């Protein structure tokens, strides 16, 4: 069964940090570009960060640039999202998603992604 499972969400105070992980089972992430997306209540799902299959290219949304870092752990078939200096507006359900590397665009819109996890909730509040 092809599956992505996110973990690491939780409640954190403003200025705090969390590290999200996304583990794949049933397929190798080596052949996929990976994206982190988030969806806040009442808002559309938005892209946060994306990484190429090789891990050599990473993009970030302007809203998280300088605070979030996305990385791959190829041996563990896992991607991570280190989130620092968290703000209340970062509160959302965070999803990881994968798209096969034959799709030319590393950062693919949500409707173009091939596999999705079920999400992990991040709440930033004092």
Identify which of 59, 110, 67, 111 has the alpha carbon closest to the alpha carbon of residue 90.
Answer: 67
Quote the distance between the C-alpha of residue 115 and its chain's center.
12
- pLDDT at site 5: 97
- pLDDT at site 4: 97
Residue found by looking up tokens 């004092």 in the block: 126
Helix, strand, coil: what percent of the chain each, to 5?
Answer: 10, 50, 40
Do residues 14 and 86 touch, judged by C-beta distance below 8 A? yes
- pLDDT at site 104: 72
- pLDDT at site 74: 82
- pLDDT at site 75: 85
- pLDDT at site 106: 86
pLDDT along the chain (126 residues), means of 10: 95 98 94 96 96 93 98 92 98 97 86 94 98
């Amino acid at each position: 069964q092809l599956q992505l499972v996110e973990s690491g969400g939780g409640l954190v105070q403003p200025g705090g940090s969390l590290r999200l992980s996304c583990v794949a089972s049933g397929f190798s992430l080596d052949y996929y570009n990976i994206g982190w997306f988030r969806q806040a209540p009442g808002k559309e799902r938005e892209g946060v960060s994306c990484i190429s299959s090789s891990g050599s290219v990473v993009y970030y949304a302007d809203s998280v640039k300088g605070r979030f870092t996305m990385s791959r752990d190829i041996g563990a078939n896992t991607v991570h999202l280190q989130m620092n200096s968290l703000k209340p507006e970062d509160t959302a359900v965070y999803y990881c998603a994968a798209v096969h590397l034959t799709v030319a665009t590393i950062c693919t819109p949500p409707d173009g992604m091939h596999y999705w996890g079920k999400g992990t909730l991040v709440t930033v509040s004092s």
